[in-house]
């Protein structure tokens, strides 16, 4: 069973963004499998690298979207993104230093993402919908 199962309660209704959010959870599930299946630390390291790259790219796309519609809370939103990426990079450095990636790390990632999507991402989603209704 996957570490995290996607469901519609965290869908924004923006197909490209929802697809990217699903892909991030897929990366976390892949990381969980790599850790559990006794893959080499090189393989686990590659998944961590892939996860960080994907998340960074996704955050840039969200920020471009917010910028394109003059979303007023972009700075606050971007700070949340930056803090999460910083934490992921710390996890990566700890892993390279020999620390295991345990369930608490995966729990942190899933919990952060679900809270962020349901709270902060819904903020720009509502704003975009309101702007569309005004037209």
Number of Cβ within a 10 Å radius of residue 9: 8
| Residue 121 in the binding site for Fe ion (CB under 5 A) | yes
Distance CA 90, CA 11 (A): 28
Draw the binding track, 2-41, toward Fe ion (x: CB under 5 A; -: no contact): ----------------------------------------
Closer of 25 and 34 to Fe ion (Cβ): 25
Q: What is the Cα 135 distance to its own chain's centre? A: 31
Closer of 41 and 125 to Fe ion (Cβ): 125
| Residue 55 in the binding site for Fe ion (CB under 5 A) | no
User: In this structure, are residues 112 and 84 in contact, taking their beta carbons and an 8 Å threshold?
Assistant: yes
Closer of 16 and 99 to Fe ion (Cβ): 16
Distance CA 131, CA 128 (A): 5
- Choose among 6, 10, 134, 5: nearest CA to 70: 134
Q: Return the range that interacts with Fe ion (CB under 5 A); candidates 19-27, 61-69, 82-90, 98-106.
A: 61-69
Contact set with Fe ion (CB under 5 A): 62, 121
């Amino acid at each position: 069973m996957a570490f995290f199962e996607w469901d519609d309660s965290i869908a924004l209704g923006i197909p490209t963004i929802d697809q990217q959010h699903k892909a991030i959870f897929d990366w976390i599930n892949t990381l969980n499998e790599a850790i559990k299946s006794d893959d080499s630390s090189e393989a686990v390291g590659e998944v961590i690298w892939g996860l960080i790259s994907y998340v960074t790219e996704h955050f840039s796309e969200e920020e471009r979207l917010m910028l394109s519609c003059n979303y007023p809370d972009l700075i606050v939103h971007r700070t949340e993104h930056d803090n999460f990426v910083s934490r992921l990079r710390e996890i990566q450095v700890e892993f390279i230093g020999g620390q295991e990636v345990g369930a608490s790390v995966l729990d942190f990632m899933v919990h952060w993402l679900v809270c962020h999507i349901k709270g902060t991402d819904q903020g720009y989603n509502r704003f975009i919908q309101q702007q569309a209704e005004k037209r």
